[in-house]
Structure 1
């Protein structure tokens, strides 16, 4: 195509608009209002008390937890294509330059490091070869289908 923005411009727009914390923070008031409704709390109730009362983390903390869980699970799955991107690329590839914020991988590794989780202690998950959903055949006995119903005894 000869029209429209080039790839670099589109990626900058995506990173700025879609992945920005500002857009993600727009969901926080909705989350807070939902907690207020669920708990029957006043509009003026402090947000931290809503989280404590509901036993629910903030969306930011939930995002961090989900991202960390994903990276930790990915560490054990060497056959996953994302494993190579996340763990075999030099970490310097994920570092932020002075103009932008660290990306997903760099932020998640920082949270894992702050939680004092040693990635070297995570063992590889050995999946059966081939995986059970591939090349699986069921043995079904259909010998009774060849018989007429009248010839099959009522009690076997």
Structure 2
């Protein structure tokens, strides 16, 4: 599992022109772009949620758990693009939807169980993601 995390001051996901998930934090929040590969499972989703919740990338080396920062979770199969050969990415390392969708949902639910305020995109939909990256801070997490 890979999660590309961005520290943000605001973020929104739109599907068909309508907002389906948004963060308007008073200070900072996180956008988590989540990629799933073939050997991922619910235990890895849980560990990744814990790692993200405790990650100290907010101001004054605080974590989302320290300040209750909101998190926007968006599925992102393209995190597993293979670009080693040619000019066209291969997607064979990304898990199929039947595997990935429940694990992205489990990741979000694990964050909620830890106490996070979580918004989400729509799995498999064509989404427009708007965000204001703060810093800029962008970190790739892997489990």
In which range does the TM-score fall when normalised by the shorter chain? Answer: under 0.3
**Larger RCO of the pair (alpha carbons < 8 Å, separation 6+):** 2
Point out the structure with max Rg over C-alpha.
1
Q: Give the TM-score of the pair, scaled to structure 1.
A: 0.25
Instruction: Select the structure that is richer in strand.
Output: 2
Instruction: Select the structure that is richer in helix.
Output: 1
Q: Give the TM-score of the pair, scaled to structure 2.
A: 0.27
